Amino acid sequence: MITILSWSTDEGLKEGFKPADLPGLLARADRVVWADFSTPTKEEAALLTSVFHFHPLSIEDCDSRRQHPKIEDYHDYVFLLVHGVHPDSSAREFRTRRLSLFIGRNYLVTFHRDKSRSVEYAMEALRRNPRVMSEGSDSLLHQILDYQVDQYLVVLENFEKKLDEIEDHIFAMSSREVLTDVLAFKRSLMRLRRIAGYQRDVLIRLVRREFPMIDERSVYGLRDVQDHLVRITDLADTYRELVSGALEAHLSMVSQRTNDIMRVLTVVSTLFIPLTFLVGVYGMNFDHMPELRWRYGYLLTWAVMIGVAGGMYLYFRRRGIFGGPRG
């Protein structure tokens, strides 16, 4: 589906145009045109070549599923590929939707295969205040990018809550559950940081006014969007350090628990070494062993084993192995 909006001084904001009207609309330099390609058909997508004459590489990038946010200068227009937050995105799985934008001197083309909340928001805001379009296509670009970046801030709030949960669960949940949670959160956080970092670089180039179609009036708004992205990347780095610290704390606790268990098992094994020696000696079936025929030999053996075990236990306790005072 293609939605076409047009603004001119004499006609104001108008919409409801057909694709066949595009050449005539674009021919007027005093008119600003916005064409939104939402889940377009093959025939509709062909208009990018036949009407707008966009470079094949930029058109190819529109459908590429592994492209990071980027910006390319094609002289007559600037191509941007940005990522918006998917509605089902969460701290456990950060997902995005790609949005391609072509910005020229008097037009803006948005191309997306999935529903775009930022495009819908900008379009509704434009209908409420048509004068926004009079400031040029770069003003429309600012509206879209501003709303898109705001959704990243909403997701970061969920990341902060999830980080608090992880820190609480470190002391309550099992090791396997904590590790699964932490690794999924860290993977999602790294993806958000990577995407936000690329989009920050895109905004930096826009703010520097490397492209003639970016007016100075729009630079102030775009600079605010850039500041938000800088804040997002900084928060993502901070959260990554915090979750790494939480993971290290969890692994330290697991290691400590393992050491405590091994210490107890070692002490128990040590207690049984002399007892096993005594039992082994008197378990030998030699005929000439005087103690075997002694009436109180059995009781004495038990007394010796209990005494040895008790003495070793007191020694270990005084050394602090069982948590008692050190001697």
3-state DSSP of 135-182:
CCHHHHHHHHHHHHHHHHHHHHHHHHHHHHHHHHHCCCCCHHHHHHHH
CATH superfamily ID and name for 2-252: CorA soluble domain-like (3.30.460.20)
Q: Picking from 45-49, 101-105, 169-173, which range would have the lowest pLDDT averaged per residue? A: 169-173
Provide the pLDDT for residue 81: 92
DSSP string, 255-267: HHHHHHHHHHHHH
Task: Please provide the average confidence, as pLDDT, over all residues in the chain.
Answer: 83
The residues that bridge with 15 in the sheet, in sequence order, are 5
Three-state secondary structure call for residue 88: coil
According to CATH, the topology of domain 260-318 is Methane Monooxygenase Hydroxylase; Chain G, domain 1 (1.20.58)
Tell me how far CA of residue 104 lies from CA of 131, 157, 258, in angstroms. 19, 35, 64
pLDDT over 90, % of the chain: 8
pLDDT band at 16; cut points 50, 70, 90: confident
Please say if the pLDDT value at position 187 is more than 80: yes
- pLDDT for res 319: 77
Nearest Cα residue to 95 out of 82, 85, 105: 85
Q: Which token pair is 322?
A: 């069982």
3-state secondary structure of 30: coil
> pLDDT by residue (tens digit) across 212-267?
788 878 888 888 888 989 999 998 888 888 887 777 777 777 777 777 778 778 88
Three-state SS across 183-233? HHHHHHHHHHHHHHHHHHHHHHHHHCCCCCCCCHHHHHHHHHHHHHHHHHH
List, for residues 89-143, the tens digit of each pLDDT value: 887 788 888 999 999 888 899 999 888 899 998 888 888 888 888 888 888 888 8
Identify the H or E element spanning 14.
strand 12-15
pTM for the predicted model, two decimal places: 0.73
Q: Per-residue pLDDT for 327 more than 50?
A: no
Most confident of 43-52, 174-183, 211-220, 265-274: 43-52
Residue 80: what pLDDT? Answer: 92
Q: Residue ranges of the domains in the chain?
A: 2-252, 260-318
